Every structure is written in C-alpha cells, then in structure tokens.
C-alpha cells in the first residue's frame, strides 16, 4: 500500500510508475506535482498560456465536445477499478485502460448498488438510470473547480432537468418532471425536501471526505429490513423505527418505482450468500435489465452459483452486446467451459482491450508466445507485480497454463508480502495440491483457516486437503470446525459422516449424515451414503427408508 502504486496516479500529473519487477524497485517519474492542465487536456498548443503571445490560441473543446468521453477522463481517477495499462491518455476510451469494479462483493457495495467502501462514484453512475440516459459529470459539475454548476441545497441543480416538462436527455429520454414538495411530502428547506439528501446520501471516508452516492436510488426501508442496506428515511427519522418507515414509504410511493431495484438487490444478496435457486434469480434480473453495468454484474456472479449452467444462454447472447462491460463479463462466464475456445476466439480481436483481456485470460493456455493476445495479456500481468494481488494473478495464469512450479513461486512471494491474507494462503494451497504436494497444501490451507476464523467453507476445503494427505485426525478436526462455524454447511456434515464411517465410528457417522440430510433434504448423496452405514449397523428398516429417500431424489440417468 505505497504512494507509487496506490496514490500517485491520480494526485500527480503525467505520472509513470516504472516498476522493475526483477529488482523490486520503482523508478517513478512525473511532470508536475498535483493535478495540472495536461492531466485532463493532454498536451496544449505550444503557445497556449504564454504571456509573451497576447493572442495565444485557446484549446478547442476537449475531444470534439464529446461529453461522455470527457466524463471518462474524470473516471480515470474518480472510479474504483483495476488498471489494465500504465498509459491512459485524456480522450482515450476508459474500457481500454481500466476494469471497472462492479457491485459483486458485499464488502464493496450494498446489494442494491449503494456505495459501501470507498468507491469513487463512477460505478454508481454506470449503474444509474440517469447515467444510462446520458447524464454526465459535466451536467452537474464544473470540471475545473468540481463544484456543482447550480446550488444543490435548494434543488436547483436537480430541477435543471426535472422541472416540468422535463429536460430531454442526450439519449432521447425525457427526465421525469418532479414537484419537490408534492413528491417529498416535506416542507421547503427541510432535509426531507432535499433531492440529494434522499437520493444521494453521503458517506464519510478517511474521516474527512464525505461523498454523495451517485446511483440516485430510491430510498427503500423494506430492503433495509430484508437485507440491511441503508435508507435515507431511517437516517433522518431515527426515532420512528423501521416498521414506520416501511409503511410510510409504501403508502406514499408504492412498490412499482422500486420493483426492479428490489429484484436486483435480492438476486445479488442471494448470490453472495449462495442461496439455492440463485442462478434463476440472476437470469430473471438480467432478462428484465437494460443497464449494461447491471447486466454485467449478474453475469459476473452467475458462474459462482450452484446452477451456473442456467446462465449459458444469456451469457452467449451477451458476447455480442454493444457495451464492453457486458461483453467482458460474458467472456468471464465461459472461463473453464469446454467450448470456451469456440465462443471466445473472436473476442481476442475485439476493438476494446478490456474485452480482449478477458478472452485472453480464459484462452491463455492455448495462446502462442508471439501472438498479440499473449503479449497484451503479459503486459497486463506485469503491470501490478508490485502488489500481492498482481503476484497472485500472474501465479493463477501460470497455473492455468500448467506451470505449477512458477505458479507456486509467485504465490509464495505474494504470501511473503501479505502474510495475513487468507485468500493468498488458500490459493497457494490449491496450487501445491495441484502439484501433488498434499501435505504442504494442507499446511497452507491451515494458515488460511487460522486467518479467517468465521469462514466455514475454507475449513471444509482444508479438511479435504488433510484427508487427501492421509491425515484423518486433522481432517476430522477441521470438519467439526466447519459445521460449528456454519451448522447448515451440509457438504461438511456429509464429508464428516464419510470420514467417521471410514474410521469405523458408525453411530457418529450416521448422525453426521442425518445432519447433512436435514440441512439439504434435496441431495440424494446424503441418504444414499446413510444406507451403507445403517446396513453396517444392522438397521435394515432405517437403511430401507434411506434408500427409498435416495431413490426418490435420484435423476433418471442415475441407475
């Protein structure tokens, strides 16, 4: 977490990181301290601003007056993203140089898209109805002072578009005309009558930097009750209680205006919690969505669900989407798919770099060393080798290409730099397991478990590694830790039952398998395993009942 890597790009003009990986050194350069003109305008005419030239030429409107492209210059700093290159130039396409952070991680955004961590606004704009209609930074902000072009406190800023009859926005959509008093049911001058207080709530970052949410969402106390997301009504009316806020919001505004907002939030929350049936909810949300950033979010989450196969058709269609965010997310969906090469080879020459890189990442094992796609991918992987995450990413690429020795070396470097990251130790353990170093893999996964004391799935993974390494006592200890951390983790109960059965502790094994079946009664494997244990215990009636349950759940193709 150093200046060269984390800060200077946005706080200096003409900055180049110039990290040298072999020596682990920076040779950083910059043109000017702070943010100077060329950071946003690129090079000016030679005589511009020269006091010796009274009629020095004024620059033409930036980028031909393309306000969207100007906003992408703003986004190069005012976005949470991953850099894809070191050389963003004002006027370049944002998606050629950055991978935007989408609301898939619960620690970064709330499931309805509200900012949670320090997100810098651009993702919120891309997720918003206003951003989709063509509203840009320049519609509200002076680019040189960053102040709003009209006062926001008395709603003048918002009413420049939302006063009757509603302004026609750049993409042919007319802004909804709004009377603030009738709409808000609050008196002029009150917080409840302020557009930004209700639709752009602020969070304070670094103890000194309050930032307004730029998603312009409708406050929804019902989602607060369901999912724990904040809402502006309860932030003001702390004495009224949540039930009052839910009832009043529904009475005043109904649910229609927030229906799609709720659909998104519930689908994303389900995906983050691995709830059964999530894939179908994500597909439904995708089918009812017209904002590319949201469609990309659903596509990004789909591969991690239990029934990811349900997303194949929508992902295949999104490979041809107009927006590069959606195309890139669709390419990610097909990582590891048997038909990935056939589906993604055309994206290796996509006009947008972020899309090409997603395709190249998936097809990396098949790329020839001298191909443009391989060179572009290697340049991207080299860009963040000064950070543990960059080392992990390169290690993953080595592992995808079957070069496990190189992968383990990169992963160990990442673990040295960030020894308290459970994810890095977990990834190193998986690489070592793939290389056949089972005892070392189990040891690394143990470190990960110790660093993430509430992560039941990680404890299960470590237990399986110990079992593979022939260490049943450690495997049992970790399986019991997994079910203690998450009693509903049915796969851990199942594996505990199998392990106990192998060790001859049949009564304990039967109880663990019953716990698995209680936690997930739709899984045929659990009663099927119980049959054998009960037979060994001499419980023929119990075995017959378990066999009947297993047969009723088995698919027709399973003899």
Residue 55 has pLDDT above 80, yes or no: no
Q: Who wins on pLDDT, 58 or 232?
A: 232
Confidence at residue 307, expressed as pLDDT on a 0 to 100 scale: 94
Mean pLDDT on 126-150? 96
Band (364; pLDDT cuts 50, 70, 90): very high
User: 555 falls in which pLDDT band (50, 70, 90)?
Assistant: confident
Residue 53 scores a pLDDT above 80 = no
Q: What is the pLDDT of residue 558?
A: 75
Q: Band of the pLDDT at 45, cuts 50, 70, 90?
A: low
Average pLDDT over residues 45-61: 59
Question: What pLDDT shows up at residue 188?
Answer: 94
- What would the pLDDT profile of 321-353 be if each residue is shown by its tens digit? 999 999 999 999 999 999 999 999 999 999 999
The per-residue pLDDT for range 484-542, each reduced to its tens digit, is 999 999 999 999 999 999 999 999 999 999 999 999 999 999 999 999 999 999 999 99
The pLDDT tens digits of the residues spanning 404-424 come to 999 999 999 999 999 999 999
Mean per-residue pLDDT, 298-308: 96
Residue 82's H or E segment, with its range, is strand 81-83
Give me the DSSP letters along 361-382. Answer: HHTGGG--TTSHHHHHHHHHHH
Distance CA 507, CA 533 (A): 8
Contacts of 291 (CB under 8 A, 6+ apart): 126, 127, 128, 129, 132
User: Residue 63: what pLDDT?
Assistant: 78
The pLDDT tens digits for 456-498 are 999 999 999 999 999 999 999 999 999 999 999 999 999 999 9
Q: Report, as an integer, the average pLDDT of 102-113.
A: 98
For the chain, how long is the longest CA-to-CA vector? 103
pLDDT, residue 48, reads 60
**HSE of 197 in the Cβ direction (CA atoms, 13 Å)?**
18
Handedness of CA 368, 369, 372, 375 (dihedral sign): positive
- Region 243-253: what's the mean pLDDT? 94
Say which residues have a Cβ less than 8 Å from residue 101's Cβ, sequence separation at least 6: 79, 80, 81, 82, 108, 119, 123
Residue 50's pLDDT band (boundaries 50, 70, 90)?
low
- Is pLDDT at 46 greater than 80 in this prediction? no
pLDDT at residue 257, rounded to an integer? 78
Orientation of helix 490-502 relative to helix 456-468, angle to 10°: 30
**Domains in the chain, start-ordered, CATH in brackets?**
494-559 (1.25.40.10)
Q: What is the mean pLDDT of residues 25-37?
A: 95
Question: What average pLDDT does the structure give for the chain?
Answer: 94
| pLDDT tens sequence across 262-295 | 999 999 999 999 898 999 999 999 999 999 999 9
The proportion of the chain whose per-residue pLDDT surpasses 90, expressed as a percent, equals 92
Phi, psi of 12 (to 5 degrees): -130, 160
- Distance CA(9)–CA(77), nearest Å, equals 8
pLDDT for 181 equals 95
| Residue closest to 287 by CA, chosen among 309, 303, 263, 307 | 263
pLDDT exceeding 70 applies to what percent of the chain? Answer: 97
Does 58 have pLDDT greater than 60?
no
Whether the predicted pLDDT of 43 surpasses 90:
no
């Amino acid at each position: 977490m150093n200046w060269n890597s984390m800060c200077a790009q946005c706080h200096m003009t003409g900055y180049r990181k110039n990290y040298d990986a072999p020596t682990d050194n920076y040779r950083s350069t910059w043109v000017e301290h702070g943010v100077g003109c060329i950071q946003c305008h690129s090079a000016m005419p030679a005589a511009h601003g020269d006091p010796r030239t009274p009629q020095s030429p004024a620059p033409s409107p930036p980028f031909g007056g393309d306000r969207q492209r100007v906003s992408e210059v703003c986004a190069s700093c005012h976005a949470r993203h991953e850099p894809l290159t070191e050389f963003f130039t004002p006027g370049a396409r944002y998606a050629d140089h950055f991978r935007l952070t989408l609301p898939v991680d619960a620690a970064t955004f709330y499931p309805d898209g509200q900012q949670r961590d320090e997100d810098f606004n651009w993702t919120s704009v891309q997720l918003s109805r206003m951003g989709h209609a063509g509203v840009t930074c320049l519609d509200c902000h002076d680019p040189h002072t960053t102040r709003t072009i009209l006062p926001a406190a008395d709603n003048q800023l918002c009413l420049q578009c939302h006063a009757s009859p509603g302004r026609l926005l750049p993409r042919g959509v007319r802004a909804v005309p709004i009377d603030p008093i009738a709409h808000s049911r609050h008196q002029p001058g009150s917080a409840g009558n302020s557009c930004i207080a209700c639709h752009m709530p602020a969070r304070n970052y670094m103890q000194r930097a309050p930032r307004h949410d730029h998603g312009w969402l409708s406050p929804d106390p019902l989602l607060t009750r369901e999912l724990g997301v904040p809402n502006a009504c309860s932030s003001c009316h702390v004495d009224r209680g949540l039930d009052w806020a839910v009832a009043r919001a529904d009475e005043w505004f109904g649910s229609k205006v927030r229906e799609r907002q709720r659909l998104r939030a519930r689908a994303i929350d389900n995906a983050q919690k691995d709830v059964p049936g999530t894939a179908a909810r994500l597909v439904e949300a995708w089918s009812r969505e017209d904002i590319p950033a949201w469609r990309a979010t659903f596509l990004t989450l789909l591969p991690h669900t239990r029934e990811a196969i349900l997303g194949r058709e929508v992902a295949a269609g999104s490979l041809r989407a107009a927006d590069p965010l959606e195309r890139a997310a669709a390419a990610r969906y097909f990582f590891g798919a048997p038909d990935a090469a056939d589906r993604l080879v055309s994206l290796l020459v996509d006009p947008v770099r972020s899309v090409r890189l997603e395709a190249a990442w998936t097809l990396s094992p098949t790329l020839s060393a001298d191909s443009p796609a391989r060179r572009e991918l290697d340049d991207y992987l080299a860009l963040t080798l000064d950070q543990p995450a960059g080392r992990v990413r390169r290690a993953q690429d080595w592992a995808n290409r079957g070069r496990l020795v190189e992968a383990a070396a990169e992963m160990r470097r990442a673990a040295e730099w960030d020894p308290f990251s459970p994810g890095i130790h977990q990834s190193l353990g998986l690489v070592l397991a793939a290389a056949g170093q089972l005892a070392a893999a189990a040891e690394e996964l143990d470190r990960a478990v110790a660093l993430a004391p509430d992560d039941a799935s990680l404890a299960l993974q470590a237990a399986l590694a110990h079992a593979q390494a022939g260490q049943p006592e450690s495997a049992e200890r970790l399986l019991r830790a997994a079910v203690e951390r998450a009693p509903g983790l049915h796969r851990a109960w199942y594996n505990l039952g199998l392990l106990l059965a192998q060790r001859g502790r049949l009564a304990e094994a039967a109880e663990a398998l019953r716990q698995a079946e209680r936690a997930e009664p739709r899984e045929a494997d659990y009663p099927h395993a119980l049959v054998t244990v009960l037979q060994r215990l001499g419980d023929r009636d119990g075995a017959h009942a378990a066999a009947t349950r297993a047969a009723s759940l088995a698919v027709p193709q399973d003899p």
